[in-house]
Amino acid sequence: MSQPFISAKDVHFKYPDGTKALYGVDLDIYEGEIVSIVGQNGSGKTTLVKHFNGLLKPTEGDVLVGGTSVKKQPLGQLARTVGYVYQNPSLQLFCRSVRDEVSFGLKLLKVPGNEIKSTVEESLKTVGLLDKIDEYPFFLTMGEKQRVAIAAILALKPKVLIVDEPTTGQDYKMAYQFMKLFEKLNKEEGKTVIFITHEMRFSTEFAKRTVVMSNGKILLDGPSGKVFTQVDKLKEAFVAPPQISELAMKLNECGIRPDILTVDEMYQEIKQALLKKRGAINGTCN
């Protein structure tokens, strides 16, 4: 197996007020993965991912990005490699226009003006906000602010994209479109995508790998189908599997696979079971 691009090694973290948030976390993230991290508030999810781009540094242990400790890499360099979108986009927005917001990082990197213009427009078009390019960010809706924050990160073209609660302020349609965008960036550009979510539907549909955190530790880590069958462990983390997964587990005694994650998978499984029961090779269900 190839070397991980991000590697957390026995990471402990304590905030200045004495609150300990991480207890010996070990986690490897490989290039090209889409990984979801789930768990209740206070489980350590956000604290952990902030170590991946240097926003936080381990109290004990270490985090390697591209084989080098984050303790030895400048924050600016890490930001270009690992982009992080906050759960609350207002924490990232401070410029007087959407255009300035998305171009800010590019200007710091001294990218040529004509390239900045095209990159900003391309990024805003990607998130559906090109028509808001001259507006004041704080007059936008919460969902639009989230999209501006994502556009600003995409403009820097990071290898890894971390999104903390990508559904914040979005209706289901827009949230789903965002997840499809991250999936496209993963497939077409090879970006590694890590997202924190409370929406188990997005975890099961878009992430082949799910990490469950509880009390500053990793409780489960593996293929999403397998993770969501570990009911007792999930209860320990106060995480409920998606309803389709619960249904699959209940139907396991009827011959249905317990690791089903989506409605389409369930449909195909039931269809095959019915055809098998009828002894048919070609059925009429389409």
Q: Are 233 and 96 in the same domain?
A: yes
- Please write down the long-range contacts of 218-227, taking CB distance under 8 Å and 24 or more positions apart: 218/25, 218/26, 218/27, 219/39, 221/27, 223/259, 224/36, 224/261, 225/259, 225/260, 225/261, 226/259
pLDDT exceeds cutoff 90 at 162: yes
Let me know if residue 1 belongs to a domain. Answer: no
> Which of 112-116, 212-216, 241-245 bottoms out in mean pLDDT, i.e. has the lowest?
241-245
| Dihedral angle computed from the Cα positions of residues 221, 223, 226 and 229, in that order, rounded to the nearest 10 degrees | 70
How many whole angstroms separate alpha carbon 221 and alpha carbon 49? 15
Q: Are 252 and 224 in the same domain?
A: no
Contact 186, 161 (CB under 8 A): no
Q: Are 256 and 152 in the same domain?
A: no
Mean pLDDT of the chain: 89
Q: Are 19 and 151 in the same domain?
A: yes
Quote the pLDDT of residue 281: 45
- Taking the CA of residue 129 as centre, how many other CA atoms within 13 Å lie in the half-sphere pointing to its CB? 29
pLDDT in tens, 57-82: 999 999 999 999 999 998 888 888 99
pTM: 0.86
Structural domains counted in the chain: 2
Let me know if residue 228 belongs to a domain. Answer: yes
Please give the average per-residue pLDDT across 112-130, as a whole number. 92
How many whole angstroms separate alpha carbon 265 and alpha carbon 263? 5
Beta strand 6-14 with 60-65 is antiparallel
Q: Are 48 and 175 in the same domain?
A: yes
Give the tokens for residue 283. Answer: 């059925």
Res. 284 pLDDT band, cuts 50 70 90? low
**What percent of the chain is modeled with pLDDT above 90?**
56
Q: Which CATH number is 234's domain given?
A: 3.40.50.300
How many whole angstroms separate alpha carbon 34 and alpha carbon 7? 15
163 CB neighbour count, 10 Å cutoff: 25
Let me know if residue 60 belongs to a domain. Answer: yes
Quote the pLDDT of residue 1: 55
Q: Supply the range of the domain harboring residue 266.
A: 242-281
- Burial group, residue 270, by CB count within 10 angstroms (0-12, 13-18, 19+): middle
Across 65-92, b (16+ Cβ under 10 Å) vs e yields bbeeebeebeeebbbbbbbbbbbebeeb
Q: Are 77 and 175 in the same domain?
A: yes
How many whole angstroms separate alpha carbon 75 and alpha carbon 247? 45
How many whole angstroms separate alpha carbon 60 and alpha carbon 51? 12
- DSSP class of 90: G
Let me know if residue 257 belongs to a domain. Answer: yes
Please give the average per-residue pLDDT across 42-56, as a whole number. 94
Please give the average per-residue pLDDT across 273-277, as a whole number. 80
How many whole angstroms separate alpha carbon 125 and alpha carbon 118? 10
**What percent of the chain is modeled with pLDDT above 70?**
96
pLDDT exceeds cutoff 80 at 7: yes
Let me know if residue 142 belongs to a domain. Answer: yes
